[in-house]
Structure 1
Amino acid sequence: MKTTSRLLTLTVILGLAFSTFACAPSPTPVPTPSPSPATPAASPSPTAAPTQTAVPTRTPTPRPDHTRAFLDALLPGANSCHPDRTAEDIGVYIYDLTDDRELVSVNADVPFQFASAFKGPVLTYFLSSCRAYWDSSSAEWQEHFQDLEAARNIEYYTSADYEQALTEFLSDPKNWKDVGDFSAERRYVSNGLAGDIDTRYFILAKIYGMIAQSRNLATADALKFVYENCLPAEHPQMEADCGGPNALTSFNAWFDQFTGLAYESGAPRRGLYEWNNVVENAADGPREEALSTSGLTDSCANQSAVLKCDPSARAVNTYTARDLFQFYSALYRLDDKRLRGAAFSLLELDEPGPARGPLKNLTRSLGAVSLSKNGHAFYHNGSINADAGIVLYKGRAYVIVTLSFNALESMSRLYGQYDKDGKPAGKPGLIQNLLQTETR
């Protein structure tokens, strides 16, 4: 009985337990969590994100005031008549052609005598006007070369063989000094008889001598040659009341046109007023020589230089330093490469003698190139010293012009001192210091 009762009790308990599980709600599924990304290991030297730091704008180094430095070094004069108050008669203009900027201007618009420095422009005047005598690529050359009458009626002098030899020889302007020897060596000979020498190109020897040795007679002959043989019917001329047209007025008109100089009506003009007798050194001593242009004048080129600030002491044949700068700037930028190349080839010549001026001495000592023409003469118990041209130095180009009268101390400070052979004989001058400063 007791056993039966226990069985019933166990059955009831199991039934209740079964019913409890059967009636319970289904458990809510638990979503599987996504795996978290691994936490990065700490850097042994953690760095913050870079911040943008403001970089200060670099202040450009101010350019040196070369004009001020030159004026401080040149002699000042309390009673000077010059705009920049220099005690001596000195004009300076220096320009950087590479960067197109003025570097030095001292009395740059004051007229000074130019002596032989005008021969650089005369060279360019000849080259631009007389292509028939040097430029074998031009139509003028061909026409003149084939002119049998000009060739002394000798057909050999118009032949292809002769032309080839001639053009090869003349292609280098440095050969021009020997054009007479060339013609003599190739003189036409027939049946043992020598014909006339071909003299058509002898003017080139004078052009060479005018630049390389600063020959005054050759310069006068060059001016006359251009006027008589090379100018077209329509060419720049000064007004008739200037005394022309003649070899001087035509040159001055060309110079003004080439450089872009313009004058107000009635204003005195600068340029070559006269080119008369000169004193030449001969074996028996100095002697006066009459030039082929003696007696000719350009009365409109009457702008005079005042010597030593004395109004009673005046001289003609003047340019300003800026005038010659404008000439060399125009030559440097000339589109005509053949003309410019021929001019540069001759202006680069540096032969011992009177054409070796301070600019040649300076550039030679620096290893630079000077395409220039100097001038030196004695006048009224004083000395004219001029130099002007293009200087090529360390990949840059400059125009340097100095004009002076009786200003030996100023010229020495500008260029330094050199011995009779053109070698440095002292401290460098202002111009050398400028060039070295500008090319550092």
Structure 2
Amino acid sequence: MGTPAVRALRGEIVHFLADPADCGAAALAHFADGLLIIRDGRVADCGPAEQLLGQLPADCTVDDQRGHLIMPGFVDTHVHYAQTDIIASDGEQLLAWLEKYTFPAERRFADPAHAAEVAAFFCDQLLRNGTTTAMSFATVHAQSVDALFAAAQARRMRMIAGKVLMDRNCPDFLRDDAHSAETDSRALIARWHGRDRLAYAVTPRFAPTSSSAQMALAGRLYAEHPGVYLQSHVAENRAEVAWVAELYPQARSYLDVYDHYGQLGPRSIYAHCIWLDDSDRARMAATGAAMSFCPTSNLFLGSGLFDLERAHALGVRVGLGTDVGAGTSFSMLTTLNEAYKVLQLQGQKLSAARAFYLATLGGARSLYLDEHIGSFAPGREADLIIIDPAATALLARRSAAAQTLAERLFALMMLGDERCIAETRILGETAFRRPVERGA
């Protein structure tokens, strides 16, 4: 066997060891002049350049990125690849949005060629925005899942996805049934789950569009296949919550419907989680279920404001989701900008450190992947982004005036967007590099 390939990046390194809300400044590791050593696609070491340069093999070339920030790749815990083409569609709230835009768009994914073209574009958009891991809905069509996994696999990304389960309260052209849902889901799990960096998610769209039989099926699939995920939506919109109460009058709450069918547990991720009470939040914490906070979508659809403070107080895992296409940007920086404002409206503060934690290690923890991604701890997969803090004239000016790292990170999350992602690397290899266009 040959000698393992060793690579090194030098620059300003920021990553997280814990949640700043719990551990304060000790949660953040910062090396103003740092060195990240990568061996065979994994982090070998990370620390001050002065200490680590002498440990490098004589033939190891140092990639000098001084002037840039080096951070772990972003983690998007909720997005819909099949809604890429309806982003920025005007004027509806959740239930009307589904009928007017979502269902017609998803119908097109019966065509494998269309699914493949959108999946390739979607994955490239994630990479150009610095997102290296995502949890995505596909559509009811098995070929839509095949297309997304194939596109992610070709780019060596971490992708979690699954076929949408939907057998009632939806158009006939998107309706499956208990038999086809089970047959397709089991085949997709066998074909894709655990292959390279891919994982399957059992995917009931939301409680109103699955019958009791299908909800029971989803719970069985989740229980019977170790390591699979489950993803859905809960308590996004008041009208949706009222509808669920009519459909499931025996349930204590919307979340209780999922609990009844065995759909809460480790690796179950629920988007939105706005109109929950503390009993719901405590139940999510107790079962290990996670919330995906989707601020751009919640604002765009007028759904409501996510309560991060209560989720944290009750011990719930929380990650961030762009929720494209109701979400309005693939950029996690833009998503952090909107998250700050959502919390401001409730008298809650989102520090820059907490924000970037949620976008990296927090997301990884929500997906139970923090032993693999989300930080630069030794042995972690070397998914990383190189950020240009002078990508625009305004950001460059504001960054130059900043006195502290916290101030610079805050400017980045409020003024930054995809132009700040100079490079995205997957397992240490370049997956996206932005042409140099400084001062835009």
TM-score under structure 1 length normalisation: 0.28
**Which structure is higher in strand share?**
2
> Which is higher, the Rg of structure 1 or of structure 2?
1
